[in-house]
A and B are shown apart, each in its own frame.
Chain A
Amino acid sequence: AQSVTQLGSHVSVSEGALVLLRCNYSSSVPPYLFWYVQYPNQGLQLLLKYTTGATLVKGINGFEAEFNKSETSFHLTKPSAHMSDAAEYFCAVSERGSARQLTFGSGTQLTVLP
């Protein structure tokens, strides 16, 4: 069984400040890891994913995440927040080769303050 924990349901940062959204997972097998973003009243958009290889993954809109196997974490970061980054962010995990697909975290609402 797999699960995802996102620490902090609401995170506020000032424009230009560092964004750090935390995600920890549990999985019985090496997982695939994802971050999705959901803008108000829209579907989900993939930000980035980790499958194999380099543990630092770069995504769209300046976001990146690092897979840390020992800490079972996949935290999302962005060096400088922009007002347009305000959205809800979901971490997700899936088992390799499984048709069942993703297990999502409960989400983190990011607010960017002017």
Chain B
Amino acid sequence: SQTIHQWPATLVQPVGSPLSLECTVEGTSNPNLYWYRQAAGRGLQLLFYSVGIGQISSEVPQNLSASRPQDRQFILSSKKLLLSDSGFYLCAWRRIANEKLFFGSGTQLSVL
């Protein structure tokens, strides 16, 4: 069976510090991978998606970036966090040509 792992579960970082959130998928190959952010009181916003190694599509210009160094690994990064980066970040995956999206358990990021 397929599983998705996302860590850390919670993170408190000062403004201006770097960020690295990691997501890995097990039990499948060549998945489509996604990063979403949920800000307080708002819906889910798609940040990045990837259809293959090294292929990243950015939905929203901001100080975040994403990378896919391996087939089942998706990393969300920032060189300098802003207060507005606080939120709940969710990694997700799906098989190509299948509409169902599977979500990780999320990371609650607080930037102080």
| Bound pair (A, B) | yes
Q: Which residue of B lies closest to A102 (CB)?
A: B101
Q: Could you tell me if B104 and A43 are in contact, using CB atoms closer than 8 angstroms?
A: yes
Q: Pick from B14-22, B41-49, B75-83 the stretch touching chain A.
A: B41-49
Q: Which residue of A lies closest to B102 (CB)?
A: A46
Distance in Å: Cβ of A4 to nearest Cβ of chain B? 8
Distance in Å: Cβ of A84 to nearest Cβ of chain B? 19
Q: Could you tell me if B101 and A100 are in contact, using CB atoms closer than 8 angstroms?
A: no
B43 CB contacts on chain A under 8 angstroms: 4, 6, 90, 104-107
Q: Could you tell me if A99 and B99 are in contact, using CB atoms closer than 8 angstroms?
A: no
A-B contact count (CB 8 A): 60
Residue of A36, A45, A49, A105 near B99 (CB, 8 A) is A49
CA distance A46 to B101 in the complex (A): 8
A73 contacts the other chain (Cβ, under 8 Å)?
no
Q: Could you tell me if A99 and B90 are in contact, using CB atoms closer than 8 angstroms?
A: no
Q: Could you tell me if A46 and B32 are in contact, using CB atoms closer than 8 angstroms?
A: no
Q: Could you tell me if A49 and B100 are in contact, using CB atoms closer than 8 angstroms?
A: yes
A101 contacts the other chain (Cβ, under 8 Å)?
yes
Instruction: Say which size band chain A's interface belongs to.
Output: 20 to 34
Q: Could you tell me if B100 and A100 are in contact, using CB atoms closer than 8 angstroms?
A: no
A102 CB contacts on chain B under 8 angstroms: 44, 46, 101
Known contacts: A43-B90, A107-B43. The answer to whether A101 contacts B105 by CB under 8 A is no
B46 CB contacts on chain A under 8 angstroms: 100-103
CA distance A100 to B92 in the complex (A): 12
B7 contacts the other chain (Cβ, under 8 Å)?
no
Q: Could you tell me if B32 and A44 are in contact, using CB atoms closer than 8 angstroms?
A: no
Residue of B49, B59, B103, B108 near A44 (CB, 8 A) is B103
Distance in Å: Cβ of B9 to nearest Cβ of chain A? 8
B94 CB contacts on chain A under 8 angstroms: 101
Distance in Å: Cβ of B51 to nearest Cβ of chain A? 5
Other than the given A32-B99, A43-B6, 9 more pairs (CB < 8 A) read: A41-B108, A43-B106, A44-B103, A99-B32, A99-B51, A100-B46, A101-B101, A104-B43, A104-B44
Binding site for B on A (CB under 8 A): 4, 6, 9, 32, 34, 36, 41-46, 49, 51, 90, 92, 94, 96, 99-107
